Amino acid sequence: MTTAHYRRIVLKLSGEALSGTNGYGIEPRVIQSITKQVKEVAELGVEIAVVVGGGNIWRGKVGSEMGMDRANADYMGMLATVMNSLALQDSLENIGIPTRVQTSIEMRQVAEPYIRRKAIRHLEKKRVVIFAAGTGNPYFSTDTTAALRAAEIEADVILMAKNNVDGVYSDDPKLNEDAKKYDKVSYMEVLNEGLGVMDSTASSLCMDNDIDLLVFSITEEGNIKKAVMGENIGTIVRGK
Ligand code: UDP
């Protein structure tokens, strides 16, 4: 059996990654492609936790720009991540992958509450654990959730799957054709140069806790497995 480079991973999917080309809602064909890729990795024996965003349904910032109370708008965003998590769970279980959804906001009829030790136990039993409802706190993001959960469960890496870019660039590659793609970059550079990787709260948390991050494109099938095998795709972001 081929051995994976990582033992335990956090896979961060943005909400948009589930929406396909229209950028809104949930596209079953796209979810199926992702879950097929997750299955390939699960079959290698890798322990997989997934953090999914909600931007394909609702973003708190947009609500607050429309005049809503920011905290309320953020709770709506967190609920959007629960919808995405249930869609992922459904698709994974359809292809025989056991999963558990844990929510940071209690909703026991829908999913388990987040309990760190229980999450680790599920991972050891090779269940894919989907962390829903972000951190449970407004003013945070699901990137920060990925960083926090990765630290808590002692994951080896965060795999940040992007659907619009294949790594970290010196500038927006869609607007500047001279933008340079990095193979490796540090969190300090990400923060100092304002590179579009993740928000500064998430970057700081990763930096302070020495969590490696691999930014790569999910649009090419098989890339999650390549990432897990340690192949040179995307950009690796490290503490130093
Ligand atoms: N959110 C929040 N606290 C968290 C995580 C998420 O308030 O800990 C809200 C926030 O409003 C955010 C929305 O949930 O806009 C969706 O999450 P995010 O924007 O991170 O999703 P993504 O961009 O990954 O799709």
Q: Is residue 56 part of a domain?
A: yes
Cβ contact 230:5 at 8 Å? yes
What number does the ligand 1 atom closest to the CA of 55 have? 25
> Is 208 annotated as belonging to a binding site?
no
pLDDT digits (tens, 9 = 90+) for 197-233: 999 999 999 999 999 999 999 988 899 999 999 999 9
The pLDDT value recorded for residue 1 is 56
Query: Could you tell me the distance, in angstroms and rounded to a whole number, from the CA of residue 120 to the centre of ligand 1?
Result: 23
Q: Is residue 3 part of a domain?
A: no
Residue 167 Cβ < 6 Å to ligand 1: no
The band of 22, judged by pLDDT with boundaries at 50, 70 and 90, is confident
Q: Is residue 129 part of a domain?
A: yes
Pocket test for ligand 1, best of 11, 12, 19, 59 (most atoms within 8 A of CB): 59
Query: Could you tell me the distance, in angstroms and rounded to a whole number, from the CA of residue 128 to the centre of ligand 1?
Result: 21
> Is 203 annotated as belonging to a binding site?
no
pLDDT digits (tens, 9 = 90+) for 180-189: 999 999 999 9
> Is 167 annotated as belonging to a binding site?
no
Q: Is residue 131 part of a domain?
A: yes
The CATH number linked to 63 is: 3.40.1160.10
Q: Is residue 179 part of a domain?
A: yes
What number does the ligand 1 atom closest to the CA of 12 have? 24
pLDDT digits (tens, 9 = 90+) for 87-112: 999 999 999 999 999 999 999 999 99
Q: Is residue 192 part of a domain?
A: yes
Query: Could you tell me the distance, in angstroms and rounded to a whole number, from the CA of residue 142 to the centre of ligand 1?
Result: 5
- Give the closest residue to 51 by CA, choosing from 158, 188, 175, 179: 158
Q: Which two tokens stand for residue 57?
A: 């349904």
Cβ contact 185:239 at 8 Å? no
Q: Is 4 left (phi over 0), alpha (psi -120 to 50) or beta?
A: beta
Q: What is the mean pLDDT of the chain?
A: 95
The pLDDT value recorded for residue 20 is 78
| Residues spanned by the domain of 202 | 8-238
pLDDT of 21 > 90? The answer is no
> Is 148 annotated as belonging to a binding site?
no
**How many structural domains are present in the chain?**
1
Q: Is residue 40 part of a domain?
A: yes
Q: Is residue 2 part of a domain?
A: no
pLDDT of 2 > 70? The answer is no
Query: Could you tell me the distance, in angstroms and rounded to a whole number, from the CA of residue 182 to the centre of ligand 1?
Result: 26
The strand pair at 212-217 and 235-238 is best described as antiparallel
Cβ contact 185:195 at 8 Å? yes
